[in-house]
Chains A and B, each alone.
Chain A
Amino acid sequence: MNLKRMNKGLDFLRGKYGAKKGEITIKDGHCYVGATPLLPGRMERKIVELKKMTENGTLEGVSTLRFAAFSPKGADLEAMLAKELDLAAYLGASDIVRVMAVANGNAINVLAKLANDVNVSVEIGAGLPKGEFGYDRHEIIAKRGVACDQTVDTHTPHSSIRCWGANGTDDYTDVDTELFGLTYEEIWNVRAAFALLQGRASAKIWKAAWAKAAKAAALAFESDRKKAAKAIAVKQGLNTNEAIKTSEVR
């Protein structure tokens, strides 16, 4: 991630739409504004659309979430898992109360339970060749309807553009005109920082949500070592899974 480019994008959005001052920093590979960890996954437009579907009646009676994320070799499996578990709680609208995982080398498979009884499976792998783009998949299975960020009959994501050029083949998927030129990961971190500075996302909620997700991910690895599911106590109070207002992003 290129911090200079990201903060330039953030300044552009702040100038155009108005928001408090602030800048993005990186610590241990994770982006922050001040002491608040960003949750860029919640800002990804495809996640925004999936969240809407769970709330606007498109889907009824969610039963199971099937998630996956794959990265190049050397990626931090626990951070990858924490992101997916946060999205599970967010899209499932309920906290994680139990995790059981089986890990082996650069992969971990997780079966989790939400407080509302929804099942979650998460496949995580860091076996892609270095330099490749990672990819993920989020499928929501409900009594009425299945929603997914991959289309039927595919098992890897497709791109907007494939160019068979003089220097080989390249794929491109550009998802944000206002932040054109930033990478996918950079775009959603900038959007997350902007949401926070505009007050559409709450620092208190994001801190709490990320703490829960990080704890659940750590317990997942522990469950593998102990060969036993780990329970997570749910604290009453702050709802960390409410939808973020995303009006400026279409």
Chain B
Amino acid sequence: MKPVKIAMMGMTHGHTRKYYQTLIENKKLDWVASCAQDEEAKRVYELYETGVPCYLDPDEMYRKHPDIEAVVIASANDRHFEQMKWCAEKGIHILSMKIPTFDMNEYDEMIEMCDKARIVCQIELEMHYNSVVRRLEKLIKNGAIGKIKSVQATNITLSPVWAFPWQGDPKASFGSVVPLKRGDPRFRGGALCDHPHIFDLIRHLTGSDFDYIFAEVAPNLRDGLKVEDMLMAVGKMKDGTAFLFDPSWSRLEEKLKVPGPGWERFPKRMEVNVTITGDKGMISCDCFGPNVYHNGAPNDRYTVQYTYFDEWVGLIDEFVDCIRNHKTPLINLRWHKQTILAMLGCYESIQTGKIAKVN
């Protein structure tokens, strides 16, 4: 199979660095170029010494590498639309970060432009390539606990805002400046926008879509943050499955400019835990455990050293397979729309204090 000539754009997303190793090692890919959003993003990119040239102007990158076939769009949420458009106009396949956009008009335009250009647009929801999630899906599919009645899930992390400031910027993260609710000084665009995974996972596990959702924000843990960092949601799927989600930034962090050892203050910087009650049994699941643990450098604090997790390997394999074999990715724009609508439902519920129907 001819390797796919791939590039990265933006380089400001928190997941950017996680692609480097896979893009270099996977023989199905030829990583030819990167294009940073600004000098600072370029400076940080260069710290990782990938050996892949980095540009500041996408058109210059394209002039020098006209054979680019695919791009990983690793930028702030409010840049996705223009970058997708840039790719679609050139017939370049797209691997998008987890939130293509919260603007549903833009979202529909994205679908249209990708259809018209006949390109693959895969959304990065890497949890599907996690071996624990794969086992969980298999158990549910094989009827290990019967029909699902209830799902509780956390997608809790530290906040990346100090390293990736756009994630604390309402416009850059949510796409527009919208107050959370009357009398609240905060805006949409925080922890919720960082954590779509559990909203997606429940749809795969139940085979059902969202019916309604009710969400509440709590006081922020971080002073001065303009967006929410603590919230929870309950609701029901159309098949009656009850759910409780915690998509918060509930784990405090050191204010590092570049993620690295010592970032976390709570021992585990990221947790996706799922508890499922079925009519024949129950499953309790830690998607990122067990691990290895230490209390050494740099902060001498008890710390979880993530050990087994290689989601980006499978994610990229699927992307290449879709490009070369003309397949539709599991997480494509059409599928993902319902997940984005459910997240918007959370914001609507926070604003109104009532349940939001997800349609």
Chain A contacts to B: CB under 8 angstroms: 16-18, 45-46, 49-50, 53, 57-60, 142, 144-152, 157-166, 170, 172-178, 180, 247-250
Contact = CB atoms under 8 A, between A and B. Distances in A.
B53 interface: no
Contacts of B261: 58
B282 interface: yes
A179 B307 CA distance: 16
A139 to B, nearest CB: 10
B280 A173 contact: no
B302 interface: yes
A18 B27 CA distance: 8
Contacts of A248: 25
Interface in B115-149: 129-132, 134-136, 139, 143-146
Chain B contact residues (Cβ within 8 angstroms of A): what range? 35 or more
14 contacts: A58-B296, A60-B296, A144-B300, A146-B294, A147-B305, A151-B293, A160-B132, A160-B286, A173-B290, A174-B131, A176-B308, A176-B310, A180-B135, A250-B308
B134 A180 contact: yes
Contact of A164 (B21, B282, B287, B292): B282
B295 interface: yes
B283 A161 contact: yes
Given A58-B294, A164-B283, A250-B310, 18 more contacts: A45-B307, A46-B291, A49-B291, A147-B293, A150-B290, A151-B290, A158-B289, A160-B132, A160-B285, A161-B135, A163-B145, A166-B281, A174-B135, A177-B129, A177-B131, A177-B313, A177-B314, A180-B135
A59 B291 CA distance: 17
Contacts of A60: 296-297
Given A145-B295, A148-B293, A177-B313, A163 B283 contact: yes
Contacts of B297: 57-60, 144-145
Contacts of B311: 177
A151 B305 CA distance: 11
Given A60-B297, A161-B135, A165-B281, A17 B27 contact: yes
B62 interface: no
B313 A145 contact: no
Interface in B231-282: 261, 280-282
Contacts of B131: 174-177, 180
Nearest to B295: A145
A165 B21 contact: no
